[in-house]
Amino acid sequence: MKRRILPCMILLTAMQILVAQPLSDRQIHYRPGDWISFPVTRFITAIALDHETVYFGSGEGILRYRYYESRWDAPLTVSDGIEGHAVGALAWDPASGYLWAATDRALNYRVPASDRWHQILNAVPLCGEIRDLGVGVRHLWIRGTQGLFRMERGDVLIREATPDEAEDDRADWGDRPYRDTPENPLLLFPEGGMLFFPEGYLQDTRLRKYPLSRILPDDFSNLWIGTRGLGAARAELLTRTLTLIPHGPFMPDVRAMAWDGGGMWIGGVASREREGGITWWDMESGDWVYFEAPFNADLRSHDVAAIAAGDGAVWFGTRQGLSRYDKQKNAWRTWTVGDGLWSDAVTTLALSEKTLWVGTSLGINEIALPGLTMRRVREKPLVHRRIHFMEPDGDDVWAGTDEGIYRYMSREKRWEYVPGYEGMLVRNVTALSVTDSDIWFGTDDGVAVLDRKTGRWEGYPMDLFFDGDVFNVLLADAENVWAGTNRGVLKFKRAENRWRRFTVADGLLDDAVRWILLEQNHVWFGTARGLTRFYWNAPYRTD
């Protein structure tokens, strides 16, 4: 192949992008680890190794597994500053310590001294889709759809190259696609009832096949494996055992989350009818467990809109009924219209000590605990009414509906209509949050607040404070009010009486925020692409 140096203008542009590219707002205002995201990483596309970590590239970022300690580190995603979601190739350079990651948007590299990501944005236009990265004695090697390229360490010039040059530089291409060879067949014995087929796939007990995508051996008789659908795996070649090491939520579109002891339940909506699952994340052990509806008796649907965790059981509001998971018996039970639900489409749950309130698309049900007897709420204003959100308030409960606010008064044992803020048409109430001092309501017309002591209403009208936000969830405490919307997260700082918006430019995995959980100095967001955790109370920032 005839070698040519790319035009000087292009090379100068590349130099400007790498050297003079200004720091993003994220790099200026946040430190590494302020934003951490947990996307779906069941589809592995690349693998790389350093002295203590194996990196798995996926369609939504990079997983990090500490192989000496057998535990996961936090993933590396767009929330950390990577440009682009889909990682096509990885390489670790032992000479510089840089981790290189090629995405659909740029060639990214992570500087170990600062833990910050930088980009060579013109690499993709020049090289095409980057499919492999190699590390040589003097160069980084790039294999793309436009050919073979090299870049000298410490330089910014990307030049076309030949295979002979790569061989002379002793380029190490790292991982490779799995290919069975008759001369050296690979025989592995997976745990958990899986079967391994040397042709290149795993088969589960439901006869579903999961191809092996990439493999990379290490110096300790381990073979690191990426799959399409089961995530990462490790094979111990001395014993021939294969262990899956799953990580991340099963589905990207997270609609509900709930704390339960030392872990978190995660539910959402599947992009495909049969591909989905409810996720249990044991944060103490680091284990991720999935429950798929077709393969768990009496769990009719894994499309979840609401979760309520109790002492012995967890409740899930799904598209096909109300499901209860008994943690001790590891058993499911589902209630539907045939059992007395107003509708199989459960939209919200509110759990108190003696009652589970079930909001549906056609009204409210009440389940007495622990007897599990169900009744329909038959007050006329609430019959055939869509219930968007409910939250307990001691023995009382508040409900946001498509026709305003309702409150159940436990002493009187009746529901009452609450007119709301006079300055706004409080009709379609999509979110609410109850505190000791006030109650917040998200509506189509803005945000309304009820002072519990004075009974006074205040409002933040849509046209003055927001710009077409759809309020999916509200979460208030004594310091702040968090609002998940279709355009990011809004934070209301009570002490300053001001709203502040956070988006993907700050560190969110996606701007569509469906759920929020607080964890002391951190806040968790369920988004359309997975989970994001934000260190909101960092002492070195005043958001």
CATH of the domain at 84: 2.130.10.10
pLDDT digits (tens, 9 = 90+) for 513-535: 999 999 999 999 999 999 999 99
Helix (H) or strand (E) segment spanning residue 473: strand 471-476
**Does 172 or 121 have the greater pLDDT score?**
172
Q: State the pLDDT at residue 391.
A: 98
Helix (H, G, I), strand (E, B), or coil: what is residue 92?
strand
Asked if 368 contacts 352 with a C-beta cutoff of 8 angstroms, the reply is no
Q: Is the peptide bond before 370 cis (omega within 30 degrees of 0)?
A: yes
Indicate whether 45 and 150 sit together in one domain: yes
Alpha helices for 409-534 (secondary structure H): 462-465
Q: What is the pLDDT of residues 174-223, one digit of tens each?
A: 999 998 655 567 899 999 899 999 999 999 999 999 999 999 999 999 99
Same domain, 107 and 241: no
What pLDDT, on a 0 to 100 scale, did the predictor assign at position 378? Answer: 96
Using an 8 Å Cβ cutoff, are 88 and 129 in contact?
Answer: yes
Last residue of a domain, one of 228, 245, 262: 245
Same structural domain for residues 147 and 17? yes
Pair (163, 20) in one structural domain = yes
d(CA 541, CA 543): 6
Contact call for residues 494 and 479 (beta carbons, < 8 A): yes
353: which 2 tokens?
């000590």
**Could you write out the DSSP letters of every residue in 106-172?**
-EEEEETTTTEEEEETTHHHHH-SEEEEEE-SSEEEEEETTEEEEEETT----EE--HHHHHHTT-B
Tens digit of pLDDT for each residue in 417-426? 998 877 666 6
- Do 224 and 80 sit in the same domain of this protein? no
232 and 118 in a common domain:
no
What is the C-alpha separation between 263 and 260, in angstroms, rounded?
5
pLDDT reported for residue 271: 75
**164-181 burial, b if ≥16 CB within 10 A, otherwise e?**
ebbeebebbebbeebeee
Give CA–CA dist 473/268, Å, rounded: 14
Considering the domain architecture, whether residues 79 and 193 belong to the same structural domain is answered as no
205 and 152 assigned to the same domain: no
Beta carbons within 10 angstroms of residue 419's beta carbon: 9
**Which CATH number does the domain housing residue 265 bear?**
2.40.10.480
pLDDT class for 16, splitting at 50, 70, 90? very low
In a domain, residue 468? The reply is no
Give domain status of residue 233, yes or no. Answer: yes
pLDDT recorded at residue 420: 81
Q: Residue 405: how many CA atoms within 13 Å on its side-chain side? A: 25
The DSSP 8-state label assigned to residue 450 in this structure reads: E
Give tens-digit pLDDT for 272-298. 655 789 999 999 999 999 999 988 889
**Closest by CA position to 232, among listed 97, 90, 394:** 90
Considering its fold, how many domains does the chain have in total? Answer: 3
Q: What is the pLDDT of residue 15?
A: 37
Quick check: is 524 in a domain?
no
What percent of the chain stands above pLDDT 90?
A: 86
Q: Which of 440, 406, 528 is nearest to 60 (CA)?
A: 528
Considering the domain boundaries, does residue 26 fall inside one? yes
| Residues β-bridged to residue 425 | none
Provide the 8-state DSSP code for 20: S
Of 304, 319, 335, the one marking the end of a domain is 335
- Round the average pLDDT of the chain to a whole number and report it: 92
Query: Is 532 within the bounds of a domain?
Result: no
Cβ-contact 130, 88 below 8 angstroms = yes
Domain match, 223 and 315 both: no
| Residue 460, in any domain of the structure | no
Pairing of strands 241-245, 189-190: parallel
**Distant-in-sequence, close-in-space partners of 48: CB < 8 Å, separation ≥ 6:** 54, 55, 57, 90, 91, 92, 99, 174, 175, 216
User: Which of 87, 120, 144, 164 is closest to 15 using CA atoms?
Assistant: 120
Backbone phi, psi, residue 382, to 5°: -100, -5
More confident residue, 87 or 18: 87
**Is 67 in the same domain as 149?**
yes
Closest CA relative to residue 258, chosen from 268, 250, 266: 266
What's the pLDDT tens digit per position in 26-75?
A: 566 799 999 999 999 999 999 999 999 999 999 999 999 999 999 999 99
Q: Which residues contact 452 (CB under 8 A, 6 or more apart)?
A: 436, 437, 438, 439
Do residues 44 and 56 lie in contact, with contact meaning Cβ atoms separated by under 8 Å?
yes
Q: Which residue, 317, 335, 353, sits at the end of a domain?
A: 335
Calpha distance 379→350 (Å, rounded): 18
Buried b (16+ CB within 10 A) or exposed e, 106-127: bbbbbeeeeebbbbbbbbbebb
Tell me, yes or no, whether 35 lies in a domain.
Answer: yes
Q: Is the pLDDT of residue 91 over 60?
A: yes
Write the DSSP assignment of 370-387 as a string of letters. TTTEEEE---GGGTT--E
**How many residues are listed for the chain in this entry?**
543
- By C-alpha distance, which of 309, 305, 331 is closest to 319? 305
Within a domain: 360: no
Q: What is the per-residue pLDDT for 179?
A: 80
Query: Do 40 and 131 sit in the same domain of this protein?
Result: yes
Structure tokens belonging to residue 184? 């050296």
Query: Do 30 and 81 sit in the same domain of this protein?
Result: yes
Residue 280: domain span:
251-335
Q: What is the pTM of this model?
A: 0.92
Gap between the Cα atoms of 429 and 427, Å rounded: 6
